[in-house]
Amino acid sequence: MTDTINNLRNIVFVSHGGAGKTSLAETILFKSGMTNRLGKIEEGNTIMDFEPEEIKRGSSISSAFHQLTWKNNLISLIDTPGDQNFFTDTKNCMQAADGAVVVIDAVDGIKVQTEQGWEFAEEFGQPCAIFINKLDRERSDFLKVFEDAEQSFKPKPIKLQLPIGSENDFKGIVNLINMKAYTYADGKVTEGEIPEDMKSIVETERESFIENVAEADDELIERYLEGESLSNEDINNALRAGTISRTFVPVLCGSTTKDIGIDIFMDFLADCMPSPLDNGSKKGSDPKLGEKIERKPDSNEPFSAFVIKTVSDPYAGRLTIFKVVSGKLGEDGTFYNVQKDTKERFNQLLQIAGKEQKPIKGAGPGEIAAVSKLKETTTGDTLCDEGNKIQYAFSEPLPKLVSFSLEPKSKGDEDKIFSSLSKLLEEDTALSVERNSETKEILLYGSGQIHIETTIEKLKRKFNVEVNLKTPKVPYKETIKKKVRVQGKHKKQSGGHGQYGDCWIQVEPLQKGKGFEFVDAIVGGAIPKTYIPAVEKGIVEASKKGILAGFPCIDFKVTLDDGTFHSVDSSEMAFKIAGSLAFKKASEEASPVLLEPIMKVTIVTPDEFMGDIIGDLNGRRGKVLGMDSEGKKQVINAHVPMAEFQTYAPDLNSMTGGRGMYLMEFSHYDEVPAHMTEKLVEEMKKEKEA
């Protein structure tokens, strides 16, 4: 446990992929003496990216944790993925932070995941800072990135530093608090005077900086307006207060690869970012009564925590990572899981440091800790004292955008796929799996193709299960368009008892979504009561494979109105066959048609891509239902056939430069156009023959 809660800083790094979050974390860990070598992504030896799938891709796919001590503060870093495929994990783990640092690439600028990370920080009410990275790169532009941030983000970003030099000549920073220049060479920093050619711009920026910072303190602004000079301590105090109250967002800059400005950035984390105390009590609710309850970050309060991440290991078992909100835990003990309504026992308390887990003596308010081998607990659960129950809200996973059908490479591996995937689902809340009863496929849903592919790699590495990925089959259906009356007769004579069943049925279409209706209209005992359910059963079984292309038939009504029977040769089986024959005959005569699933789709896009998206929807046989505005974005609602939408995620990405999002849910079934029906029927015939 830390000495005081006041000295704790839980900081999350968020950004678009490739902005340099992991490199920033690695440099900080190296500078603080936590490691004796500087890990590099290109060399695959970083502390924060250690999973084989991360090393292979050269980018984070899972949030990582590490602690360091700087200026007597324990800083707990959370390095999150920047790829949209793994952003549910980013959102989950952000909830454990007390402050967020948004890392922006000085070359590529603000991208969609940077904006989304910012929105999450806003949703969680987290104080933020911006670190503009990669200023040593060609085409890097500090001022342009800052102006974009001013336009994109609220509260307003304010410059805390200015870069000295640019691109290859970037060599240091000017600190607007103490008006000193810091130049870097060979890992060493030199404090000195502001370069002559920067003095006028620095004076202007300093004035603007002081005005912005003074907004956080009424007394300070008065003193400033009266011409009184402000001490560095005054400015630092106001900077901290304004950052924590979200009055403004300080902007720092540097280069992780050249180790420029990182030490001053670390000072800022220790001096100005919030402790758990600064963010105050956390709101929860009574699990039984629903009444609001609060817990202070105080070790004397009842114990409470929430789970931010689960790691599943086939050998070590489940690792549960959580943030303590109130109270404290010892080395071992029990706690109560509110969602699962059960007590869980743990034998060892751990601290996560990259891929390593270190035993610790205890954990108090604000600390991120872990335990292994809990039986019931999963991500999002609240842990607490059984006598003082509280439940904390936890954010929902981001929408699942793609699905793939899984085909086992080895026969008989289906059950193994399910049991192994269920363990991966524990650690990744953005995944879901189901067995589709209509198409008989195992479907895996996720945030994108890379997300699914990475899951399949993990499935092989962790559980030795190999699968092929396929595009899921579209669950087409069939129906009829007109009313007909037909006879179904089954008569078979062989030695001994024969088989005899004879029925007349009327078959007619029903309204969309009405399913199947069976009416018994037999009078005068034309068919004995005992055989009538057999006729219905025969019809139901036959309707599972329609006459056109073998898809289930829906939305029809059958009236059984006549028939004959034989006192010796009739049986339930004979009437079941008669019912089946009658249905097949009726289907052929009743103008059968093919139906396809229509999805309700909601697309969120920046204004400038509206035309492209609507044109694309028309090309997919979509019907636009309406449009709404949501800030700077447009929301398009449409109905689109599922068959046209299965590969939409990458197409939307390329149309919007990764700035579009969509949600999709089943709406209804509709008739397939005639020219397409012929093609589909032909395809199904070939498939059956093959």
**Residue 521 maps to which CATH number?**
3.30.230.10
- What is the C-alpha separation between 180 and 178, in angstroms, rounded? 6
CATH number of the domain within which 432 lies: 3.30.70.870
pLDDT at residue 317 above 70?
Answer: yes
Q: 294 and 176 in one domain?
A: no
Same domain, 242 and 290: no
Residue 116 lies in a domain: yes
My answer on whether 69 and 207 are in the same domain is yes
Per-residue pLDDT for 2 more than 70?
no
Is residue 397 included in any domain, yes or no?
Answer: no
| Mean pLDDT of the region 37-53 | 83
Q: Is residue 310 scored above 60 in pLDDT?
A: yes
The CATH number assigned to the domain holding 62 equals: 3.40.50.300
Does residue 146 sit within a domain?
Answer: yes
pLDDT band at 441 (very low <50, low <70, confident <90, very high): confident
- Sequence-distant (≥ 6) Cβ neighbours of residue 634 within 8 angstroms: 604, 605, 606, 607, 610, 627, 628
The CA distance from 284 to 567, in Å, is: 72
Please indicate, yes or no, if residue 394 is contained in any of the structural domains: no
Q: Is residue 389 part of a domain?
A: no
**Minimal CA–CA distance to 430: which of 113, 90, 659?**
90
- In whole angstroms, what is the distance from residue 620 CA to residue 311 CA? 40
The pLDDT assigned to 495 comes to 66
CA distance 473 to 350: 45
- The rounded distance, in Å, linking the Cα atoms of 358 and 370 is 10
262 and 162 within one domain: yes
646 vs 247 pLDDT, higher one: 247
Give the number of domains in the chain. Answer: 5
CB atoms within 10 A of CB 376: 13
What domain range is 366 assigned to?
282-384
* % of the chain with per-residue pLDDT over 90: 72
Of 680, 587, 123, 49, which is closest to residue 394 (Cα–Cα)? 123
- Is residue 636 included in any domain, yes or no? yes
Judgement on whether residues 149 and 242 belong to the same structural domain of the protein? yes
Same domain flag for 168 and 244: yes
Q: How many CB atoms lie within 10 A of CB 335?
A: 23
Domain-ending residue, one of 562, 590, 618: 590
For residues 267 and 294, state if they share a domain: no
In a domain, 203, yes or no: yes
Q: What is the pLDDT of residues 506-557, one digit of tens each?
A: 999 999 889 999 999 999 999 999 999 999 999 999 999 998 988 999 999 9
Sign of CA dihedral 137, 139, 140, 142: positive
Give the span between the Cα atoms of 283 and 216, in whole angstroms.
Answer: 26
pLDDT at 228: 84
Average pLDDT value over all residues in the chain: 92
* Together in a domain, 53 and 140: yes
Q: Among residues of the chain, what percentage have pLDDT more than 70? A: 99
* Per-residue confidence (pLDDT) for residue 37, from 0 to 100: 81
Q: What is the per-residue pLDDT across 596-614, written as a single tens digit (0 to 9) for each?
A: 999 999 998 988 999 999 9
Same domain, 82 and 150: yes
Q: In the predicted model, is pLDDT for residue 52 greater than 90?
A: no
Residue 26 has pLDDT above 70, yes or no: yes
Q: Distance between CA 165 and CA 194 in Å, rounded?
A: 12
Cβ neighbourhood burial of 686 (10 Å; 0-12, 13-18, 19+)? exposed
Q: How confident is the model at residue 250 (pLDDT cuts 50, 70, 90)?
A: very high
Residue after which a domain boundary falls, among 450, 470, 490: 470
pLDDT of residue 3: 54
> Is the predicted pLDDT of residue 1 greater than 70, yes or no?
no
pLDDT over threshold 70, residue 204: yes
Token look-up 């902007």 returns 251
Residue 154 within a domain: yes
Whole-number Å distance between alpha carbons of 210 and 239 = 9
80 and 168, same structural domain? yes
At residue 301's C-alpha, the angle toward residues 299 and 302, to 5°, is: 110
pLDDT tens readout for residues 484-496: 999 999 998 776 7
Helix (H) or strand (E) holding 403: strand 402-408
Rounded mean pLDDT, 266-282: 96
Indicate whether 368 and 426 sit together in one domain.
no
Tell me whether the omega of the peptide bond preceding residue 155 falls within 30 degrees of 0, making it cis: yes
**Boundary of a domain, candidates 225, 244, 272:** 272
| Residue 249 in this model has a pLDDT that exceeds 80 | yes
Question: Same domain for 304 and 245?
Answer: no
- Give the pair of three-digit tokens for residue 597: 């699933």
Mean pLDDT score, 348-370: 94
